[in-house]
Amino acid sequence: MSSILPVFWSIVGHIALALFFIVLFLLLGVYFIYTLIAIFRGAAYVPTTHARVARLMDLAVISPGEKLLDLGSGDGRILLAAAKRGAVCIGIEINPLLCIYSRLRMKFFGAKNVTISQANFWDVSLADVDILTVYLIPGRMGQLKEKVFAEMKSGSRVVTGVYPFPDWQPEKREGDVCLFRVP
Ligand SMILES: C[S@@+](CC[C@H](N)C(=O)[O-])C[C@H]1O[C@@H](n2cnc3c(N)ncnc32)[C@H](O)[C@@H]1O
């Protein structure tokens, strides 16, 4: 019996290790596939730097209760900062692993009034959004401008990180972060 036990635990150890690597590769596979989908539909995940998030918040001038939507919310850092200022926050993120991670972050930091949905933001209506935050690649900004003009109400704001809209004059600018007001 005593000679069987080490063999038994060795088998259990090998199975556990194999399961660990299977789960790891599955997660990496899912992440990779959704990164490709994000590249084709918007932009890959590159988080906004904390310095830019601060500038974004300065320009947004959030009043408590305003509805802020982050298009492609990544790890949720913009939602966290906006929730601290009293915004009702919505994150739309295509990558389910980033959705899970950012929801856990909201719980960890005790952020209130934050909803994160796994969806393609091109299918989401912007009709009742007061403040839209965006960090996408230049090639998507023209298409997004059309969506913003078609759906957002007059007077609502859009704050862009790094890449602004083409042929639309920002109301304010702090470095490469711009505030636009929907006409
Ligand atoms: C450049 S990152 C910005 C992340 C976050 N907003 C930030 O500023 O830290 C773009 C994010 O948009 C997501 N994304 C890209 N295309 C999308 C789409 N069509 N619908 C929803 N999310 C999308 C990506 O997965 C990625 O997390």
Q: Establish whether residue 86 lines the binding site of ligand 1, counting it when its CB lies within 6 angstroms of any ligand atom.
A: no
For the segment 147-170, the average pLDDT, to the nearest whole number, is 96
Q: How many angstroms is it from 110 CA to the middle of ligand 1? A: 23
Question: Is the pLDDT at 64 greater than 90, yes or no?
Answer: yes
What is the pTM (predicted TM-score) of this model? 0.91
Q: 5 C-alpha vs ligand 1 centroid, how far in Å? A: 50
Do 73 and 131 share a domain, yes or no? Answer: yes
Indicate if 7 and 78 belong to the same structural domain. no
CB of 159 shorter than 6 A to ligand 1 = no
Residues 72 and 36 in one domain: no
Task: Output phi, psi for 43, to 5 deg.
Answer: -165, 155
pLDDT tens profile 73-86: 999 999 999 999 99
At 1 the pLDDT is: 59
Whether residues 21 and 92 fall in one domain: no
Counting ligand 1 atoms within 8 A of each CB, the residue from 45, 103, 143, 177 with the most, and so the one to mutate, is 45
> Are 89 and 171 members of one domain?
yes
148-153 — which CB contacts under 8 Å span 24+ positions?
148/182, 149/182, 149/183, 151/125, 151/126, 151/127, 152/126, 152/127, 152/182, 153/127, 153/128, 153/182
Mean pLDDT calculated for residue range 7-36? 94
Q: Are 26 and 54 members of one domain?
A: no
Which residue segment(s) compose the domain that 94 sits in? 50-181
pLDDT band at 3 (very low <50, low <70, confident <90, very high): confident
Are 108 and 153 contained in the same domain? yes
Rounded distance between C-alpha atoms, residue 41 and residue 121, angstroms? 9
Q: Are 175 and 150 in contact (CB under 8 A)?
A: no
Whether residue 26 sits in one domain with residue 102: no
Are both 93 and 173 inside the same structural domain?
yes
At 129 the three-state DSSP class reads: coil
**Cβ(92) – ligand 1 distance below 6 Å:** yes
Q: Are residues 145 and 170 in the same domain?
A: yes
